[in-house]
Amino acid sequence: MSPGPNLGKDLLGLEYLAAGDIRLLLDTAEPFKEVSERAIKKVPALRGKTIVNLFFEASTRTRISFEFAEKRLSADTVNVASVGSSVSKGETLVDTAKNLEAMRIDMVVIRHPSSGAARFLAERIESNVINAGDGKHEHPTQGLLDLLTIRDHRPIEGAKVCIVGDVLHSRVARSNIWGLLKLGAEVAVCGPQSLLPMGIEDIGVRVFRRVEEAIAWADVLNVLRLQLERMQSGYIPSLREYYRVFGVTEERLARAPRELLILHPGPMNRGVEIDSRVADGPHSVILRQVTNGVAVRMAVLYLLAGGRPELAEAAKGGGAGGER
């Protein structure tokens, strides 16, 4: 399959994309937003293409979002949910790659617990590989949908975006940081130092150790999910204290000098990293993120499959039985 313009064969991470490519992906997502609003949500852009959704890690929303994106583009899809077997994950991955190649599929969407797994696969097969989250490395389509959601509300360039929470273990944080920096946003992270990665300042990111300071500074908060196991492994003392010190609450937001846009990649731990009143409040765009996720993934699939960006508008118009 021929690669999309400038994008290369695969989508492995936003770190590896130029600002122009990221804008192209976001712009291409715009016309696809509308497809999901139709009565018959299908266009023939990827008819005859076969896509494998290869999930080595539990995922509900990302997998479903990709699947909707694929089906709404008329691709043939297969879901493989592979949990770790007795053989090591690495061996499974090599063999999986070879087997997929042998079946002459067109695209692979991969979610894997090891950082670099998507690249590993991409280097070994000719099909397009889309990273749906690899370890703590990147989750580029999440980064893109977060960018698209911010862009729906305000220009990204010059926006002050703070990512709050467990940045250390977060692939969402890394994709957001790269995407936001490339599009000219100011980026900060906030959380207990034990959950912030080494050297993060050297990437060009500000660090806040108190959430109040982050709220006073930011235009946008992207609140990360706090994995419950971080407490057992000794990064933080308790979830209760985490909420008390780092939780994004209505009271804290009320003291902000301006109205903040609130994002969360989900699934949320209500009452841990985010107050329900904030999650359900007027500034939350959390469900908009989910809606945008399908459009962004349609854009990624369409462009990697060789679709021309200027034809995305036309492609959506050629729906099988849709409005013409």
Report how far apart, in Å, the C-alpha atoms of 247 and of each of 125, 205, 231 are.
43, 21, 15
Binding of other proteins by 119 (CB under 8 A): yes
Site string for other proteins, 57-86 (x = CB under 8 A): ------------------------------
Contacts of 247 (CB under 8 A, 6+ apart): 211, 271, 272, 273, 274, 275
Q: Which of 137, 182, 225, 297 is the binder for other proteins (CB under 8 A)?
A: 137
What's the CA gap between 254 and 11, in Å, rounded? 39
The tally of CA atoms less than 13 A away on the side-chain side of residue 264 is: 25
What's the CA gap between 227 and 212, in Å, rounded? 22
* Residue in 17, 227, 263 with CA at minimum distance from that of residue 140: 17
For residue 8, give both structure tokens. Answer: 């290369």
Residue 154: what are its φ and ψ, rounded to 5°?
-165, 160
Residue 193: what are its φ and ψ, rounded to 5°?
-55, -30
What's the CA gap between 133 and 59, in Å, rounded? 10
Site string for other proteins, 172-211 (x = CB under 8 A): --x----------------------xxxx-xx--------
Q: Which is nearer to other proteins, 93 or 298 (CB)?
A: 93
Binding of other proteins by 163 (CB under 8 A): no
Binding of other proteins by 129 (CB under 8 A): no
Amino acid 40 reads: I
Site string for other proteins, 10-29 (x = CB under 8 A): -----x--------------
Binding of other proteins by 229 (CB under 8 A): no
Q: Which is nearer to other proteins, 31 or 192 (CB)?
A: 192
Q: Taking contact as CB under 8 A, which single stretch among the options 112-120, 223-231, 247-255, 306-314 is the one that binds other proteins?
A: 112-120
Q: Which is nearer to other proteins, 44 or 135 (CB)?
A: 135
Positions that interact with other proteins (CB under 8 A):
15, 88-91, 93-94, 112-117, 119-120, 134-138, 171, 174, 197-200, 202-203
